Amino acid sequence: MNNVIQKRRLVAPVLAAAAATTVGLTTAQPAQAVAEWAHLTIRPQGGGNYSLTVSGHFNLPQAVPTSYSIKIIGEDTWFDDTPVCDAWPLTTDANGNYWYQYSCTGALLNEDWDGQDENYAKVTVFPSGARSHSVRSNTVNGYY
């Protein structure tokens, strides 16, 4: 009889843990955050103008639409140029996703007068109650 009682005492905590896990009483593990990212495309529109599309994702501290800005910056070896085309104020969706398309002249995108131009987007988010931060996009090479 003592053997049966001992086995029940050993099995009871295991069954209780299994039941708690099934019911959802154990502590939840934090979800893995999606990496923040930005992507820039530049396409000719004609007449010396270009269509810029910037899309990406921010991890927001709370699920609400949030303000952000875009700055297109010329990339150089020693230092990057000042922003050439910018857009603001803009708003993400509640999940931190964004997509924005606008025009910029080739004269502004032409940051290297003697060769190929390299431009990237610096996207900055301004979450309420948290510090702003930026994500850098891919670099787009071209002759503008």
Q: What is the pLDDT of residue 83?
A: 86
If we measure between CA atoms, which residue out of 132, 117, 143 comes closest to residue 60? 132
Rounded to an integer, what distance in angstroms lies between the CA atom of residue 39 and that of residue 144? 19
User: Per CATH, the architecture of 37-142 is what?
Assistant: Sandwich (2.60)
Looking at residue 89, its pLDDT comes to 92
Q: Which residues pair with 95 in a beta bridge?
A: none
Place of tokens 């955050």: 33
| Residue of 104, 8, 115 whose CA lies nearest to 54 | 104
Question: Residue 111: what pLDDT?
Answer: 87
d(CA 71, CA 89): 11
**CB count in 10 Å sphere of residue 50:** 23
Tens digits of residue pLDDT in 9-27 = 544 554 445 454 444 444 4
- Which is nearest to 75 in space by CA: 122, 125, 38, 29? 122
Q: Tell me: the pLDDT tens digits for 124-133?
A: 999 998 999 9
- Beta strand 97-105 with 49-57 is antiparallel
pLDDT per residue over 20-77, tens digit each? Answer: 444 444 444 445 567 999 999 999 999 999 999 999 999 999 999 999 999 999 998 7
- Residue 29 sits at φ, ψ, to 5 deg, of -85, 140
Model pLDDT, residue 20: 46
CA distances from 47 to 50, 106, 107, 144 (A): 9, 9, 11, 11
Residue 136 has pLDDT above 60, yes or no: yes
